[in-house]
Amino acid sequence: MGKIKKSNLILFCVSIVLGLCVSMPGLANAATIHAGPQFVDGYYADPDVQNFNGTYWVYPTRATQVGESGTGAKSVDIFSSTDMVNWTKYANVISSANVSWIEDSLWAPNGAYRNGKYYIYFAANAINGDGQLGGIGVAVADNPQGPYTDAIGAPLINVVRNGAGPMDQEVFIDDDGQAYMYYGSWGECNVVKLNADMKSLGTWPDGTVYKKVTPTKNGDNDYFEGPDVFKRNGIYYMTYSAGVWADSTYKVMYATSNSITGPFVPKGIMLHTDSTTADGPGHNGIIKSPTTDDWYIFYHKRYLTSTQRVLSYDKFEFNADNSIIPVEMAVEDNFEDGNDTGWTKYGGTWTVSGGQYNVASNPGAKALLDTKFSDLIYEADVTPGSTGDAGLVFRASNPGTGSDAYQGYYAGLDVPNQRVLIGKANNNWTQLATASMSLAANTKYHVKIVAQDEFIKVYVGDMTTPKISVTDSTHIGGKVGVRTYDSTAKFDNISVQSSQYETENLSVSATSGDKHVNFGNGSSPDTNLSGGYGTSLEANAVNDFVTYTVNVPEARSYSVRVGVKTGTNRGQFQLSVNDIDHGAVQDLYSSTLNYVELNVANITFSSACNKSFKFKVTGKNASSSAYNLLLDYIKLVPN
């Protein structure tokens, strides 16, 4: 799920479904910033990111290798890039060979620069109390790639203060040049001053060394580990990991403060598990482009069917009130990085060259991404050969090697027969529809699949009028990928996005009532929600409301469907778009908790543009104890 969101409100301009105004994947045929489901090969976690003189440097934890079982990795690899696409690896820049007191695990490195020297701060030996050999160390070098040497010959911090485990450190240098180190696991966070030598600790005006700065705890996704601090518009932002690192509860939260020492007030979820894309994203680094106002979050994640962690990054943006717009993990690959890391091949000969994914002619070769999409928009450039056909696979499961060795759908370009085709496989082939089209061999065509419930549309070239529209509900969800059938083929600019959007990720333009928060975000995601989380308006009266700015991408008629959670304290609402009411009043009261999808209105939009979708409380059922609205997702289904 190669990464980057496009900005400037150009998102989903030609999609058939609801898009977000900001912070979502851009069009597949627009230039992406990087390529691939992960940006470096191999298993890594806990990335810190820095930019020194226009070069990006990433400092991750390396996965345990053969011979290290039971003790953890004993060395650090780092990576550099000038374009965020092509990365150079520097192996073993710190290891037990050049830091004598490292006895077992070495993790969570963090880079810094000051006065011509480069520093890496790291955690080692996993101590759990004072007086043990381990904690936070520091190494120094004359160049960012090393070689690094132990700066003080011992740990810099090897005590437990305020309950904060000495690990997961991050150096922040403020505008006045003062350097600080935030650190801490086990649910607590400290900040210390670093002296000008960057290898000794200073004191605060009150004579203390360690200040507790754990974001305020409210029992809902409280701080666990991995602090990262940055400053924007005079506001100090702390991102941090909550949940359990080994499962899908792991996520990135953020808090803000007007002071370097807090208090840091939690503001919400920044990044979380997406059941269509990846699991357990967290332990992040933050970087701003040195030449633009673009901000990026680097983090680790797990593919849906893997326990190993890999590195990714995404662009993120801010609302006008300085809040962070939650990040969607994009699924993109433009193959500019020269590899197909993250793709699983089933038959055929696959290569990456010229910024394209190439496959030799084969009776049914396919390459798939580890995703699980149901409702989706899938775009790609497809270059078919002169024989057979080539195209896109979606909602695929149980893949194997063989022409029809999977369950799912396939839409292809058939040059010999001058047609577009779609069919379904179940270890055999059933053709669903074809459409005549003038096609030339070795010519690139932009293809888009829109699958919404049982409705499937195939677009080729013209993104406004589908070549094929079919109705079939055999396969409801699964992997996406590319395929050839007796044809050479090239694929490029892969972009996949869900057409069902979580309300927490929409841009909130106004709220009323007591509280507007995420729900399903306690110790674990609510598995009954489409992506794990929803939005709750804890309303207290009629006319309380919540609105979302929605990008309606095409002038046409839509069925507006809303996923909700009904219950005993739910209210009634009326949908309005740009302050015009649509559809009937919806009653969300239920004697038990239920998840339902409501068809709230049929609306014809005369133009493609941003619309204000308001959910306004109109009353409550006589049996209801409150007026609350709990919204999971919104989607537009073309009529």
**Annotation says 46 is catalytic:** yes
Q: Is the Cβ–Cβ distance between 638 and 505 less than 8 Å?
A: no
pLDDT in the model for residue 387: 98
Q: What's the average model confidence in pLDDT over 55-81?
A: 83
pLDDT in the model for residue 612: 87
Torsional class of 125: left (φ above 0), alpha (ψ -120 to 50), beta (otherwise): left
Instruction: Find the catalytic residue in 77, 168, 225, 404.
Output: 225
Q: Give the whole-angstrom CA distance, residue 159 versus residue 115.
A: 28
Q: Give the whole-angstrom CA distance, residue 506 versus residue 272.
A: 15
Q: What's the average model confidence in pLDDT over 138-155?
A: 96
**Annotation says 225 is catalytic:** yes
Mean pLDDT is lowest, of 62-76, 427-441, 534-548, for: 62-76
Q: What is the DSSP track for 137-165? A: EEEEESSTT---EESSSS-SB-S-BTTBB
Q: How many CB atoms lie within 10 A of CB 100?
A: 10
pLDDT in tens, 192-233: 999 999 999 999 999 999 999 999 998 878 999 999 999 999
pLDDT in the model for residue 69: 58
Q: Is the Cβ–Cβ distance between 136 and 110 less than 8 Å?
A: no
pLDDT in tens, 22-67: 223 233 333 446 568 899 999 999 999 999 999 999 999 998 765 5
Residue 311's closest CA among 91, 138, 57, 121? 57
Residue type, 460: V
Partners of residue 424 on adjacent β-strands: 409, 430
Q: What is the DSSP track for 281-338? A: EEEEEEEE-SSSS-EEEEEEEE-TT--SEEEEEEEE-B-TTSPBPPPP--EEE--TTS
Which tokens go with 161? 């203060």
Q: How many CB atoms lie within 10 A of CB 291?
A: 8
Which tokens go with 183? 């650190």
pLDDT in tens, 86-130: 999 999 999 988 899 998 889 999 999 999 999 999 999 989 999
Please state, for a pLDDT cut of 70, what percent of the chain lies above it. Answer: 90
Mean pLDDT is lowest, of 319-328, 403-412, 418-427, for: 319-328
Greatest Cα pair distance in the chain: 82
Pairing mode, strands 501-502 and 580-587? unpaired
Regarding pTM above 0.85, the answer is yes
- Domains of the chain, each with CATH number or no CATH: 44-329 (2.115.10.20), 343-498 (2.60.120.560), 500-638 (2.60.120.260)
Q: Is the Cβ–Cβ distance between 174 and 194 less than 8 Å?
A: no
Q: What's the average model confidence in pLDDT over 587-613?
A: 92
Residue 11's closest CA among 2, 23, 1, 3? 23
Residue 85's closest CA among 31, 132, 137? 31
pLDDT in tens, 362-376: 999 999 999 999 999
Residue 16 banded pLDDT, cuts 50, 70, 90:
very low
Q: Give the whole-angstrom CA distance, residue 136 versus residue 120.
A: 10
CA dihedral 367, 352, 335, 80 (to 10 degrees): 120
pLDDT in the model for residue 158: 97
Cα 426-375-391 angle, rounded to 5 deg: 55
Q: Give the whole-angstrom CA distance, residue 214 versus residue 111.
A: 22
Above 80 in pLDDT, residue 18? no
Residue 249's closest CA among 229, 222, 267? 222
Q: Is the Cβ–Cβ distance between 188 and 212 less than 8 Å?
A: yes
Above 90 in pLDDT, residue 422? yes
pLDDT in the model for residue 633: 86
Q: What's the average model confidence in pLDDT over 304-315?
A: 94
Q: Give the whole-angstrom CA distance, residue 578 versus residue 506.
A: 16
Q: Measure the N-to-C terminal CA separation of the chain; round to a whole number of Å.
A: 30
Instruction: Find the catalytic residue in 46, 381, 404, 504.
Output: 46
Q: Using omega within 30 degrees of 0 as the cis cutoff, is the peptide bond preceding 638 cis?
A: no
Torsional class of 538: left (φ above 0), alpha (ψ -120 to 50), beta (otherwise): beta
